[in-house]
A and B are shown apart, each in its own frame.
Chain A
Amino acid sequence: MINILFIEHDGTKHHVEVKTGGSVMQAAVSNGVPGIDADCGGACSCATCHVYVSEEWRNKVGTMEPTEEAMLGLSTDRKDNSRLSCQISVTDELDGLVLTTPEFQF
């Protein structure tokens, strides 16, 4: 099992344990992590599963496709470490991943 830590904007922590294979968005939603809406269900087309990737993990979560880049461009809270969690696959390499959720999804 893979451990992922989601930290809300106010500091509240949510540890989840998931199998590999799904997306980080699914890991959050299926474990009731608040602050991830995922309106489109994982199709990289609504930008409501926005997360910030902690510095030490940024190189390990893979790179963005142009679509993800474009969707994130529509967010007012975008930062350098922004990603859409539906586009990050849960793999063995991500055991211990730490992410922060924004105050709002837009």
Chain B
Amino acid sequence: MSEAVEHQDSKQSKWSMVGKDPYAMPIEDIDLAHPGIWQANEFLPFLQRLRQEDPVHYCKESAVGPYWSVMKYKDIMEVDTSPDIYSSEPTIGIVDSFEQFTLPSFISMDPPKHDEQRTVVQGVVAPANLKNLEGLIRQRVSKIMDELPLGEEFDWVKQVSIELTTQMLATLFDFPFEDRYKLTHWSDVATAIPGGGVIDNQEQRWQAMQECLAYFTRLWNERINKEPGNDLISMLAHGEATKNMPPMEYLGNIILLIVGGNDTTRNSITGGVIALNENPDEYDKLRHDHGLIRNMVSEIIRWQTPLAYMRRTARVDTVLRGKQIKAGDKVIMWYASGNRDEEVIDRPNDFWIDRPNARHHLSFGFGLHRCMGNRLAEMQLRIVWEEIMQRFHKVEVVGEPERIYSSFVKGYSSLPVVLHPLK
């Protein structure tokens, strides 16, 4: 996901759709790629219009050039599961790789190289290994929860969502615990849009990435001289398909694992709090039956859809829902739209913690690139909510969340809350 850097233009860009009525403009002018409507939380009616009126939509002009938008659940499935037609190379971000720096990693590779590299590291997030990690995760979640202030306002994103996901990443990498905030920083920088608040320009990004590479190279050198361990770095250093990776490929895979394990879970942890506050009846249901947590976790991941899209590039001329897609065209699968597709998902805009078939959502993608960390993410969210419900009557949202300036990472930079203990 290192290549998920989006627009180079500013927030006041002519491309922004903020404040516009999606039904009052010519449909061909709708541009979902600009981060404005995502940060302003105005994207849903745009998605809905396209889904209903032009579900395979061509945007011929945008800050990132022309691209196709795939809006329906079933069409997204088809694109995601046809790697011979829709390639993940050269990048899964909406910006073409030659326009900016990109790092090679297995998320933007096709078979067979993708399969070989992914196989090396997936064991660390496989359920058998997660079972061993559960106790440690719960211990860390409990410690974070126990130290939170009661009855006074604080930022849930910073003190819970970021703290928890960062600790988890440090654990998976066996990364020096006291330096763990560097991981959050690198993750934020890797996906930031210059001018969006985190970095001002590409040089700053490069600097941070060099620093990241230098740090991880030290860890690699340490681990390569030891017996193979169960952390991600040791697995990469000793794995047949990865031990001779060039430095940029190592960096690319590290950034992929950091961003993949960080942003997405972080924003789902925050999103769940928002969803339950917006739906007090569902919160009541949860208070009465903690057994619903497992199902709720899937519903949170659907409702939040922490990554709004993945991009593919057509390898050959093809036809999707009657539209002629040419070889080389950018094809964007809007998971955020497919997850609200009324044709497949009952009452899609409702947050419904005991939803039947809650696992049938697109947030993890489908096919060979399906999210490798999905079981870890689900486990983290489950433990978070189990521990919340042990302690607090309500995590009350007391102000507007601040949303991230991105059409890719769908998330929050802050959320003011007040904790109310169990009565």
Contacts and interface: CB of A to CB of B under 8 A. Distances in A.
Interface in B110-126: 111, 115, 118-119, 122-123, 126
A39 B360 contact: yes
A46 interface: yes
Nearest to B127: A104
B375 A106 contact: yes
B260 to A, nearest CB: 15
B366 A43 contact: yes
B128 A45 contact: no
Contact of A74 (B115, B127, B360): B115
A45 B126 contact: no
Given A39-B360, A104-B126, A104-B128, A74 B370 contact: yes
B257 to A, nearest CB: 16
B372 to A, nearest CB: 8
Contacts of A39: 359-360, 364
Contact of A43 (B77, B118, B123, B368): B77
Contacts of B364: 39, 46
A45 B127 contact: no
Which of B77, B81, B111, B364 has the largest count of A CB atoms less than 10 A from its CB? B81
Interface string A90-106: 00000000000001111
Nearest to A73: B115
Contact of A76 (B111, B123, B360): B123
B77 A105 contact: no
A17 interface: no
A46 B128 contact: no
Contacts of A67: 81
A103 B43 CA distance: 40
A106 B126 contact: yes
Contacts of B128: 76-77, 103-104
B81 A45 contact: yes
Contacts of A43: 77, 81, 366
Interface string B224-265: 000000000000000000000000000000000000000000
B367 interface: yes
A41 B361 CA distance: 10
B299 interface: no
A71 interface: yes
Interface string A35-74: 0010111011111000000000000000000010011011
Interface residues of B, number: 21
Given A37-B359, A43-B366, A45-B370, A74 B118 contact: yes
B31 interface: no
Which of B118, B364, B367 has the largest count of A CB atoms less than 10 A from its CB? B367
Given A67-B81, A74-B370, A76-B126, A41 B360 contact: yes
Given A39-B359, A39-B360, A74-B118, A45 B77 contact: yes
Contacts of B131: 104
A53 to B, nearest CB: 21
Contact of A40 (B77, B111, B119, B122): B77
Which of A44, A73, A77 has the largest count of B CB atoms less than 10 A from its CB? A73
Contacts of A74: 115, 118-119, 122, 368, 370
Contacts of B115: 70, 73-74
Interface pairs A-B: 3 shortest CB-CB: A104-B127, A45-B366, A76-B126
28 contacts: A37-B359, A39-B364, A40-B360, A40-B366, A41-B360, A43-B81, A45-B77, A45-B80, A45-B366, A45-B367, A47-B370, A67-B81, A71-B368, A73-B119, A74-B118, A76-B122, A76-B123, A76-B126, A76-B128, A103-B127, A104-B126, A104-B127, A104-B128, A104-B131, A104-B375, A105-B127, A106-B122, A106-B375
